[in-house]
Amino acid sequence: MKTTVTFRNNVKIMGEGTETLLFGHGFGCDQNTWRSVIPAFLKEYKIVVFDYVGAGGSDLTAYDDERYSSLDGYANDIIDICTELQLHDVTFIGHSVSSMIGVLAIKMEPQFFKKIVFIGPSPMYMNEEGYKGGIDAGDLDDLLDVMDSNYLGWSRMVAPLIMGNEEKPDLAEALTASFCATDPEISKKFARVTFMSDNRKDLSSLTIPSLTIQCEEDFLTSREVAEYIQQHTANNTLIMLETKGHCPHLSDPKGVVSAMKGFI
């Protein structure tokens, strides 16, 4: 029988090992985004995947404006999953915004976690004096305004830019479909929480080993952001992949698996 958190976040458990890898998807995605990476770890690890509320097969009725008004609410979902499943020595793998959600979860309840992997992370997406996150405040406002007025059109425009890899149009089509499958109203709120967040100060709280996996060309983040994370985070290792896009676990799964195996 499914327990409350397991049902709420559509938690799935697989694999033959005892050490846990907990995978957190990025904005606009769901647990299916890990489909090309998970097979490489099934023999040696217990794999736990889930959907944030509003994505995939999650319980949409569980969405609460107050809880999810900041990334802390999503971090609490991770803590709830670890608590309910009685996980320990977890390696958390977070894509995009899930990287910082993972940092917040570890800051809240460090006893659950052993290591963390960032894939395409950013502690802050906006540029400001002395920090280049990648997006000017005015451009971000415009992007969010377009999302508010035409979410499906925004998804079809932005998903290919995020995916990159124009020579693999099927990947962009799959990401567009994932964007369009999420609840639009929840997605709009999650987008604002994601792109308006500033977690730079939280990096110093992370003391467990961490790995940053970053593509050379990325619409949402960059080598400069990855190097910022490395400089401001203890025990962080940076691996740059010679590939394009914000979703290397889909466009370059072999590169991501190789980097992860060398770390975990």
pTM score of the predicted model: 0.94
Task: Note the CATH number of domain 4-263.
Answer: 3.40.50.1820
pLDDT value of residue 171:
78
Cβ(119)–Cβ(96) under 8 Å?
Answer: yes
* CA distances (Å), origin 199, targets 70, 130, 195, 254: 11, 15, 11, 29
Residue that is written with structure tokens 């958390």 in the block: 92
DSSP 198: B
Query: How much is the pLDDT for 254?
Result: 97
pLDDT at 158: 83
Contacts (Cβ under 8 Å, ≥6 apart) of 222? 132, 134, 214
Length of the chain, please? 264
What is the distance between the alpha carbons of residues 135 and 126, in angstroms, rounded to a whole number?
5
For position 100, what pLDDT does the model report? 98
Nearest C-alpha neighbor of 220 from the set 168, 143, 151: 143
DSSP letter (8 states) at residue 131: B
| CA–CA distance, 52 with 8 (Å, rounded to integer) | 8
8 A C-beta contact, residue 155 and residue 179: yes
Token readout for 60 is 């949409």
239 within 8 A of 210, measured Cβ to Cβ: no
State the DSSP code for 65: T
The predicted pLDDT at position 1 comes to 43
| Domain ranges within the chain, ordered by starting residue | 4-263
- CA–CA dist 238, 229 (Å, integer): 9
Walking along the chain (264 residues) 10 residues at a time, the average pLDDT comes out as 83 97 95 96 98 94 96 98 97 98 98 98 95 91 88 83 80 79 87 95 97 94 96 97 93 97 96
pLDDT at 2: 54
Active site residues: 96, 218, 246
Among the residues of the chain, which ranges form H helices?
4-8, 71-84, 97-108, 137-149, 151-163, 169-181, 184-195, 223-232, 248-251, 253-263
